[in-house]
Amino acid sequence: MTPRATYRLQFGPDFGFADAAALAPYLSALGVSHVYLAPVFAARPGSTHGYDVTDPAVLSPELGGEAGFRAMVAAFRTEGLGIVLDIVPNHMGIGGAANHYWLDVLANGPESRFARWFDIDWQACGGRVILPVLGEGYGAALTSGALDLRADGDGFAVWAHDTHKLPVRSEDTAAIREAGVGTFRGAALDALIARQHWRPAKFSLERDGLNYRRFFAISDLAGVRVEDEAVFEATQALALRLVDEGVADGLRIDHIDGLRDPKTYLHRLRRGTSRPFWLLVEKILGQGETLPADWDVDGTTGYEVTNLLVGLLADPAGNDAMTEAYAAFAGRTDPVEIVRHAKREMLERLFASEFSALSGRLAALAAASLRFRDVGADSVKVALVEVIVALDVYRTYADANGLSASDRERLTRAVGEARRAAAWLEPDAFNLVEAALGLDLDTFPGAEAEVREAAARAQQLTGPVMAKGLEDTALYRYARLLALNEVGSEPGRFSTDVAAFHAANAARAPGSMLTTSTHDTKRGEDARARIAALPRHAAAWAARVPAWHRCLADPEAPIDPNDAYFFYQLLLGAWPMEWRPGVRRDGWEAFTQRVRAAMLKSVREAAVNTTWVNGDPDYEARLAAFLDRALDPSPGNGFLASFRTFEAEIAADGAANALIQTALRLTLPGVPDTYQGADCWEQSLVDPDNRRPVDFAGRAAMLAALPPGPAAFPNWTDPMSKLALTARVLRLRRDHPELFAAGDYRPLDLPAPLVGFVREAADARLLVAASLRHGPAQRGLLPLPEGRWREVLTEAEIADPAAGHGFDILPVAVFVSSSG
């Protein structure tokens, strides 16, 4: 069953199954058909997101357990709502003491019945799992007591920093009992640890000493070998049972690119239940990339839609001026090189362990090959780095049938760019990498298994390198227009032309998700929409930024101009829409704390002036002082006074962008998702800011009291405007499900700045149009086809379609004409 529209809910210590159940009447009244749930399975205690699953066979006891889950589902069903589950097949949370599967592996090593679950290289590191759980060197931890042997109901374990449980082998139990726990200190404890299936190490060893696959570079999330059929059956059984029972109508698969064999995994899911279900994958598509046709999924989670829409909103006329202003202030000009440099850093720093293991596999293939025997290990490393850096997608999908034509073309192009980047290198080094990653088995006779393993490992590495290099580094280093810096974006691309917008909509799978905010987006959708208004004010922006900086800069304690440029946009996006001039501000302290936290995270992610590990306290202190000056609410703060004047100048354009974006998300081909809280203004910053509590009671009261007609839009910056738009379009989808599920899509040929389309099914016609550069001189008139039309947002009956529509009340219009 494909949902009509979904609403995403995040779970955490302060929001469990009972809290979600209480929202059923509101969500039903809003007009969605399904509640799209963050992971509901047992996770690390206190988890604020649920992606650190510790037991996929158990519904989270912290959130309410099976009874609470079933009660929540019953509450949803009473209101006619289904559910969609978010499942996490790629990894499990292993830190602390909550994952009994992992603890069994630590206790029993390769002989553990769960050893096959985790992607561990037991041949490396003397057959021990390296655990980067220490805040200091091993010797210091041994001396300080940070490593402590204890007894509990399960036997004996060494605890690291009172947090991480490291079970002791059963073979050592008798010796410990004979000598007594208290005797294991210093050398005696060291000798005991040396006999275990694990080795505790300082956290910094995660860079180049680990021997298990992780989720990205997060060492307490261990990769799961879900490609193993027995592991698949054990870890996916509960989710599939919930589908088979009719409890869940859909599954969203987290981080599909982390899996060794996504296609086989997805096919097993389909075969795992007799009931059809909606199947989405979290997949970031590169430029020109499409989902493999043989995956048998309904679509993606919609990051490409996020970027498509913000590109449509960014006025291309401001491209040159915004680019020049940024270059003049921050000196950054080449986003492509910034991305490539960041990817190189990831290979050298965060993924050194994984890269070393992969290059070692390729070097071994070379040594065993007559053709490549003279390619040295260092040459292999250089060639591999350059190919990974040049690859323009997250990964390829080599399987038993080799590479698809499109993947082979991308690999060949990446190798070509790599050759140019390191033209001095022995050509056979690139030939080796291309043959292995391309699964050219004939090139390596007798080593087919080794080639398949190397290709699979490469594909599980290139995705994390791209994600960390692009999303979590380059997007914090290149700050020309932050609205364009989103998951799945392409730095350097400024805007989406209308023809490309229509082509993407016509090509989209009808079951794909339409989203503009998620738990992973860098900014909430309306923060992004406000920042996207800047190109219309490029000249004013270019003049204001240097003036602001003159107010705030301290020559004795300077900060990077790029960080300052980033901050001015961040503040503009986050500045609450409802904080209009002359209106008292509520929550100033909470707001400024959010901004400070987001800026600190941003500069650490950028990793230019400070980092998460071994950061620069002096720079962070200078940044904090800069933010204190900027956010000082006293009347003498000239920056804040000037900023508020500028913010007021762009407010209407920002709100117009936000309303247009919302209306398009709810009406384009696909299944629209509303992220929690985005039924009103969603101006969150990067996580964890986007997981703050939502005032659902206030939304429910506002929805119940919505005035009829255009009175629901008192002004564009009022949160009621977005709630009214959202509810009225979602209810239209409820009233005309066939129109949105199967209606065709036809672009309208409209003069700029208008953009619009028609969708038509047997029971109704839909016409949606927006004025992208809204203003008194640019409103334009929209001609309507013959028929009896009703404008959904203002609830107005159109008496004379030939008179046209002038966008006087809103920058977007949604018309429906029912058959008969």
The reply to whether 72 and 143 lie within a common domain is no
Q: How far is CA 744 from the centre of its chain?
A: 30
Name residues whose C-beta falls within 8 Å of residue 523's C-beta, 6 or more positions apart in sequence. 482, 483, 486, 531, 570, 573, 574, 683, 684, 685, 686
Q: End of a domain among 474, 505, 527?
A: 474
Instruction: Give the pair of three-digit tokens for residue 527.
Output: 């923060």
Q: Strand, helix or coil at 195?
A: coil
Domain for residue 517, yes or no? Answer: no
81 or 293, which is more confident?
81
Q: With 60 as the cut, is the pLDDT of residue 211 above it?
A: yes
* 421-444 per-position pLDDT tens digit: 999 999 999 999 999 999 999 999
Domain for residue 606, yes or no? Answer: yes
The full 3-state SS of 339-382, as one line of letters, equals HHHHHHHHHHCCCHHHHHHHHHHHHHHHHCCCCCCCCCHHHHHH
The answer to whether the CB of 368 falls within 8 A of the CB of 449 is no
DSSP string, 235-272: HHHHHHHHHHTTS-SEEEETTGGGSS-HHHHHHHHHHT
Domain for residue 735, yes or no? Answer: no
The answer to whether the CB of 200 falls within 8 A of the CB of 134 is yes
The confidence score (pLDDT) of residue 783 equals 84
What's the CA gap between 432 and 444, in Å, rounded? 10
Domains identified in the chain, total number: 5
The answer to whether the CB of 710 falls within 8 A of the CB of 792 is no
Q: Label residue 217 by pLDDT band (50, 70, 90).
A: confident
* Mean pLDDT computed over 405-427: 96
The reply to whether 56 and 109 lie within a common domain is no
The confidence score (pLDDT) of residue 780 equals 64
* 599-618 per-position pLDDT tens digit: 999 999 999 999 998 899 99
Domain for residue 522, yes or no? Answer: no
The reply to whether 345 and 469 lie within a common domain is yes
Q: Label residue 581 by pLDDT band (50, 70, 90).
A: confident
CB atoms within 10 A of CB 499: 9
The confidence score (pLDDT) of residue 161 equals 96
The full 3-state SS of 7-73, as one line of letters, equals EEECCECCECHHHHHCCHHHHHHHCCCEEEECCCEEECCCCCCCCCEEEEEEECCCCCHHHHHHHHH
Q: Which domain holds residue 173?
A: 100-221
The confidence score (pLDDT) of residue 198 equals 97
Which residue, 21, 9, 11, is CA-closest to 49? 11
* 478-527 per-position pLDDT tens digit: 999 999 999 989 888 899 999 999 999 999 999 999 999 999 999 999 99
The confidence score (pLDDT) of residue 820 equals 52
The confidence score (pLDDT) of residue 777 equals 45
DSSP one-letter code for 805: B
Which residue, 740, 746, 800, is CA-closest to 764? 740
The confidence score (pLDDT) of residue 399 equals 85
The confidence score (pLDDT) of residue 457 equals 96
The reply to whether 368 and 463 lie within a common domain is yes
* 364-399 per-position pLDDT tens digit: 999 999 999 999 999 999 999 999 999 999 999 988
Using left for φ > 0, alpha for ψ between -120 and 50, and beta otherwise, residue 46 falls in: left
* Mean pLDDT computed over 272-289: 95
Side-chain-side CA neighbours of residue 461 (13 Å):
28
The angle at the Cα of 75, spanning 72 to 78, to the nearest 5 degrees, equals 150
Exposure letters 549-586 (e unless 16+ CB within 10 A, then b): beebbeeeeebbbbbbbbbbbbbbbbbbbbbeeeeeee
Q: How far is CA 424 from the centre of its chain?
A: 38
Q: End of a domain among 608, 633, 650?
A: 650
Q: Computed over its alpha carbons, how large is the radius of gyration of the chain?
A: 28
The reply to whether 41 and 135 lie within a common domain is no
Domain for residue 676, yes or no? Answer: no
DSSP one-letter code for 814: E
The reply to whether 373 and 463 lie within a common domain is yes
* Mean pLDDT computed over 85-97: 97
Q: End of a domain among 277, 301, 325?
A: 301
* 707-735 per-position pLDDT tens digit: 999 999 998 899 999 999 999 999 999 99
Instruction: Give the pair of three-digit tokens for residue 766.
Output: 């839909």
Q: Looking only at Cα atoms, what is the longest distance across the chain?
A: 95
What's the CA gap between 477 and 788, in Å, rounded? 52
The angle at the Cα of 682, spanning 677 to 695, to the nearest 5 degrees, equals 35
Q: With 80 as the cut, is the pLDDT of residue 774 above it?
A: no
CATH code for position 297: 3.20.20.80
Q: Strand, helix or coil at 514?
A: strand
What's the CA gap between 655 and 661, in Å, rounded? 10
Domain for residue 46, yes or no? Answer: yes
Q: Tokens 């804040």 label which residue?
A: 640
CATH code for position 760: 2.60.40
Which residue type sits at 248?
Answer: A
The reply to whether 155 and 280 lie within a common domain is no
Instruction: Give the pair of three-digit tokens for residue 544.
Output: 């204001």
Element at 430 (helix H, strand E)? helix 427-437
Domain for residue 533, yes or no? Answer: no
Q: With 80 as the cut, is the pLDDT of residue 775 above it?
A: no
* 517-543 per-position pLDDT tens digit: 999 999 999 999 999 999 999 999 999
Instruction: Give the pair of three-digit tokens for residue 756.
Output: 């619009």
Name residues whose C-beta falls within 8 Å of residue 151's C-beta, 6 or more positions apart in sequence. 181
Q: How far is CA 312 from the centre of its chain?
A: 21
The reply to whether 256 and 401 lie within a common domain is no
The confidence score (pLDDT) of residue 584 equals 60
Strand order in the sheet with 796-797: 746-747, 754-760, 764-771, 812-818, 790-791, 796-797
CATH code for position 644: 1.10.10.470
Name residues whose C-beta falls within 8 Å of residue 611's C-beta, 6 or more positions apart in sequence. 604
The answer to whether the CB of 607 falls within 8 A of the CB of 350 is no
Which residue type sits at 218?
Answer: I
The reply to whether 343 and 470 lie within a common domain is yes
Q: Mean pLDDT, the chain, as a whole number?
A: 95
Side-chain-side CA neighbours of residue 669 (13 Å):
24
The reply to whether 347 and 463 lie within a common domain is yes
The answer to whether the CB of 158 falls within 8 A of the CB of 148 is yes
- β-sheet bridge partners, residue 35: 7, 83
The full 3-state SS of 437-502, as one line of letters, equals HCCCHHHCCCCHHHHHHHHHHHHHHHHHHHHHHHHHHHHHHCCCCHHHCCCCCCCCCCCCCHHHHH
The reply to whether 199 and 242 lie within a common domain is no
* Mean pLDDT computed over 679-699: 97
160 or 123, which is more confident?
160
* Mean pLDDT computed over 547-561: 96
Domain for residue 39, yes or no? Answer: yes
Q: Label residue 624 by pLDDT band (50, 70, 90).
A: very high
Rounded alpha-carbon distances, angstroms, from residue 116 to 17, 96, 253: 33, 21, 22
781 or 396, which is more confident?
396
The reply to whether 42 and 126 lie within a common domain is no
The confidence score (pLDDT) of residue 806 equals 83
Rounded alpha-carbon distances, angstroms, from residue 291 to 262, 301, 448: 11, 12, 27
- β-sheet bridge partners, residue 214: 222
